[in-house]
Every structure is written in structure tokens, then in C-alpha cells.
A and B are shown apart, each in its own frame.
Chain A
């Protein structure tokens, strides 16, 4: 069991896309494996919506490893015997990096809604500062799933000279109406909770009911028809027959309730609002042709999607792949079979690991001089 501790790095001030300034900004990050002498084996892992810097290994005294421990470690896809792996918590989150629950130096109180509205690009800018701070001028790869994939592809476009390769998993190049709609329902659930109090609830009762309902909706979108049917079907909850009352009858009901409630203990409601908003703003092309955005791209690409992912469906990955092909980028794409829906990138490791490890070996060999 390898242990790891979260580290922190601080930035005096950043300029964000909306035009505002924010500072100081603290960034929580972890690293796994060793940076080689040539500094050519670094991989930046980008986490999804509610993830954190703790991507792999164990925190001292904890029983659960990091959120992508199945993919990162000795002999795994992101092989820490070969690569130096970095993961940082995104701007606006609540897991150690500055976000709405951090103290606003102007008032001495948590930011709440005084926190500026941030974007995926702003997250990437902060990561770029961290990579600079670590003394790495060119990453072997930027890799992430879901919101992490949005950051990865943003890296390719915003900092084309800084990564040899980009791995985009279960993601998209722009948020669609359906994706925005699900997020809007989640935000409205939080905001409808009287305890939310316009984001000013720190030190008081949390908007637990609203955030819990938001998470329940989110959770449905992360699963698939098949995975829900397999896991729950119409199984009853400690009952022999239907109650014909308003109590919970089905297992799926209590599962969602449990997921919602446990989420309240580990995630900040305002971060939920800010991060979903950042994803909804995400549109790499912003009115242009997607392929035009990829014109200056120098990185190689690996794009992965999952058959049962209906939140970020394969059709969106294919759209990105086709735009990259049109611009003559070196792109590999595979749609992996899985019943786990959008969550597949967090649980379906066999083919995903094979694809990633072969791909990294190729990029390392051909572009970074790694043997």
C-alpha cells in the first residue's frame, strides 16, 4: 500500500475569463512516481466534476484509495514506475483548491456567491501555473474523463506547445442542450432549498435537501438503463409487496437517497453550482467550426468513449475525432463496450487500461524519447 499526501501551491493572483481578478489562489495537488532527469515523463491527470487531487494511492490511515487508483500506479495504465503523474484539484472546487467555500481575503468570510464565475479555461490556466511551478516545460500527456476530458482538450488548444498528447475520455468539445438541462435542474434544486440562502450558508444549516436531490439527478445520468436494470430492476426495499403509500417501495429509491445524502457530506453546494456552470459554458469552438479550433494543435490525440454513456455519448466523441482528422491531427479513437454508462471511465479498466498504456508507450517512444 503506497501512501501519498496532498501538497499545496499558491498563486498570488489570476485573471479569469470573465475579466475579474482572483487571488491569492491555493492549488491542492498530488504526485505519483518520479520525474526523470530529462523532465520528459510527466502526465497531468484532470479530474471530473466532483473529483479531487487524490487520484491514486492511499492517504495515511484511510481505507479507500484515490478515485482513479485502478488506472494509476505501478504496472497500471498510467504506470508510476515509468511516469511522473500529477493531479490537482480544479479551481472552484471544494477539495483544497480555492473555491466558493474559501475565505475571501476582502471580507474574511467565505466567498459564497462573491466567488467569480469561472470556466474550464480558467481551471486549465491554474493547472498551467502548477506545471510551470513544478519545472515541467512539456507534458507527455494531459488526460482526463468527463469534465477532465474537457480540460484535456482545452489544454491542446490553449497551450498547444505544452503537451505531446491529449487523452480525452467520455467527454465532449461543447456542452449540449441536454447536458445543460440536467445541470440546470440540479442547480435549481440547490437554489430552491431555503437553507441555500443565496449561497450564504457557511457556518449555518447546509442546503442538504437541495444538494441531495441535485446529486440524485446527476447519478441517474451517470448510470445507464442497463446498469440500473441490472443493479435494481424492480427489487423491493425490505418489503414483500408494494405499499400503495408514499413510503419508499423500490431499492433504486433508497440507493439514490443514500448517494444524495452522502454527497452532502463531501461536497459544497456552491461548488456544485459553479462547476456545473463552468461545464455549461464549455464550447471549444464558440461559434466557429470545431476543426478550425484544432488548426494550431500539435499534440497527438487518444479519444475514448463508452457504448452505454448517454450523458456524453459516443456521437460527441466522434464529432471531435472527425474534426481532428479533418485538421490532420494524429488521432486514435476507440469506443469501448460497457454497460456502466458515463461512470464506465471510473470502473471499466480492462480495455481502457490497454488503450491508454499502449498509447502512452507509443507517444513516449515517438515523441518524448522514452524507452
Chain B
């Protein structure tokens, strides 16, 4: 079964688009974009083992650090820059997002909602940092370094004068329409410079 977030992102991207996936993991999304949408798709990934998996899927990925490696690309090189489940693992969020908005005409961001209902219940009633299906890590082994809610992200975009063109809210592989800040465990946003 195809992950809903991948399906949504593949729907957003036009056929033949040029795509850069930052923190592309094992390259599943990239190979989907390449095969289904005939995209010229490439990625940056920090883990060498993941890069070899990307290569097995036939996608070109370069090992690198998205905090610092975007300066080689000229403005608007890509139709889309994708940051799916990777922005929360970045230290310098403002720089990465600014760089992404510079080298991409549009930026697709997928983030987990650290303040969904289950997380709130765990914090409130159990007094513990939440561990849920969508936030599976313990406080001591999480790769995440930034913890934010969907509302935090929207506010951040407003602050930085970044336009949110479209947004999707998901919970356990389904779309959520109401009380998204509470029920959604993740969100996908299409951003562009205002």
C-alpha cells in the first residue's frame, strides 16, 4: 500500500517537474515521482546506507547535509523542493526553509503534529513526553530536534511571510477535515514565497 503522504505529494507534483527531496531516506518517494510523474527527481540524504537503498531504486542521490548544502543551486532550479518528515530534524529551520524557497519555485513540507490529541493526553494525564504511532521515539533516542504543532508551523509561515497555498491534514493514513490541530498526526503544506 502506498503511503497517503506520498500519494498526496505525487498528486501535487506536475508531470515532468524538477524535484529535490531533502532528507529523502530510502528514495521511495523519489522513485515514485520518477516512475509515475516522469519527474527529474534527485535528493540529498545524510545516511550512506539510505543512499545505497536509493541507488537500488535507481534514483540519483547525493550524501550531504541539508543545513548547509543548498547554496550550490541557483534560484528556482527546482519546481518543487520537498521536506517530508525531515524539517523537524533540522537545526537551522529558518535557513533551510529560506534556502528551499530560493532554489524551489514551491516547497512541499510534511511535518508531524507534536500536539495531537494522543500526545496531549499523554502529557496531561501521564506527565510524560508522548510516544505515539506517529511519534514513535523516546525522548532519548529521537532523531527529531524541533518539536512543533501544525498551528506553530502555520504561525511560523505567517511570521516569515511565506504563503501556504494548500494544506492537508492526516491521521493514521486518512485525511482529517475537522479540528485538525487535535486530530491530525501530521500535515502537508505547499509553500511559496509571498
Contact bitstring A276-320, B, C-beta under 8 A = 1, else 0? 000000000000000000000000100000000000000000100
Q: Give the A interface residue count (CB, 8 A).
A: 25
**Chain A residues with CB under 8 A of B62:** 321, 325, 331-333
**Cβ-defined contact, B63 with A335, below 8 A:** yes
Q: Is B64 an interface residue (CB 8 A)?
A: yes
Q: Is A358 an interface residue (CB 8 A)?
A: yes
Chain B, range 29-74, C-beta contacts under 8 Å to A: 42, 48, 51-52, 54-56, 58, 60-64, 69, 72-74
Q: Is B77 an interface residue (CB 8 A)?
A: yes
A366 vs chain B, min Cβ distance (A): 8
Main secondary structure of the interface of B (DSSP, over half): mixed
Q: Is A351 an interface residue (CB 8 A)?
A: yes
**Cβ-defined contact, A359 with B72, below 8 A:** no
Contact bitstring B134-163, A, C-beta under 8 A = 1, else 0? 000000000000000000000000000000
**Cβ-defined contact, A354 with B52, below 8 A:** yes
Known: A325-B72, A325-B73. A300 touches B60 (CB 8 A): yes
Residue of B55, B56, B64, B72 with highest tally of chain A CB at under 10 A: B55
**Chain A residues with CB under 8 A of B60:** 300, 330-332, 362
**Chain B residue nearest to A318 in the complex (CB):** B64
A117 vs chain B, min Cβ distance (A): 35
**Cβ-defined contact, B48 with A337, below 8 A:** yes
- Pick from A330, A351, A358: contact of B42, CB below 8 A: A330
**In the bound complex, CA of A351 to CA of B49 (Å):** 8
**Cβ-defined contact, B51 with A358, below 8 A:** no
**In the bound complex, CA of A313 to CA of B183 (Å):** 49
**Cβ-defined contact, B73 with A351, below 8 A:** no
**Chain A residue nearest to B58 in the complex (CB):** A362
- Pick from B55, B58, B63, B73: contact of A365, CB below 8 A: B58
Contact bitstring A313-350, B, C-beta under 8 A = 1, else 0? 00000100111011010111111110000000000000
**Cβ-defined contact, A333 with B72, below 8 A:** no
**Chain A residue nearest to B60 in the complex (CB):** A332
**Chain A residues with CB under 8 A of B58:** 358, 361-362, 365-366
**Chain A residues with CB under 8 A of B73:** 325-326
Q: Is A355 an interface residue (CB 8 A)?
A: yes
Chain B interface size, under 10 / 10 to 19 / 20 to 34 / 35 or more: 10 to 19
**Cβ-defined contact, A333 with B69, below 8 A:** no
**Chain B residues with CB under 8 A of A331:** 60, 62
**Cβ-defined contact, A334 with B69, below 8 A:** no
**In the bound complex, CA of A328 to CA of B61 (Å):** 13
A153 vs chain B, min Cβ distance (A): 16
**In the bound complex, CA of A96 to CA of B114 (Å):** 66
**Cβ-defined contact, B56 with A332, below 8 A:** no
B27 vs chain A, min Cβ distance (A): 11
A369 vs chain B, min Cβ distance (A): 15
**Cβ-defined contact, A355 with B52, below 8 A:** yes
**In the bound complex, CA of A361 to CA of B62 (Å):** 18
A157 vs chain B, min Cβ distance (A): 18
Known: A325-B72, A326-B73, A332-B61. A354 touches B56 (CB 8 A): yes
B131 vs chain A, min Cβ distance (A): 30
Residue of B42, B60, B69, B77 with highest tally of chain A CB at under 10 A: B60
**Cβ-defined contact, A322 with B72, below 8 A:** yes
**In the bound complex, CA of A358 to CA of B58 (Å):** 7
Known: A333-B63, A361-B58. A328 touches B48 (CB 8 A): no
B71 vs chain A, min Cβ distance (A): 9
16 A-B pairs with C-beta separation under 8 A: A300-B60, A321-B64, A322-B72, A325-B72, A326-B72, A326-B74, A328-B77, A330-B60, A332-B51, A333-B63, A334-B55, A351-B48, A355-B55, A361-B58, A362-B55, A362-B58
Supplied contacts A300-B60, A322-B69, A332-B54, 14 more A-B pairs, CB within 8 Å: A323-B72, A325-B62, A326-B72, A328-B77, A330-B42, A330-B60, A333-B64, A334-B51, A334-B63, A335-B63, A355-B51, A358-B52, A359-B55, A365-B58
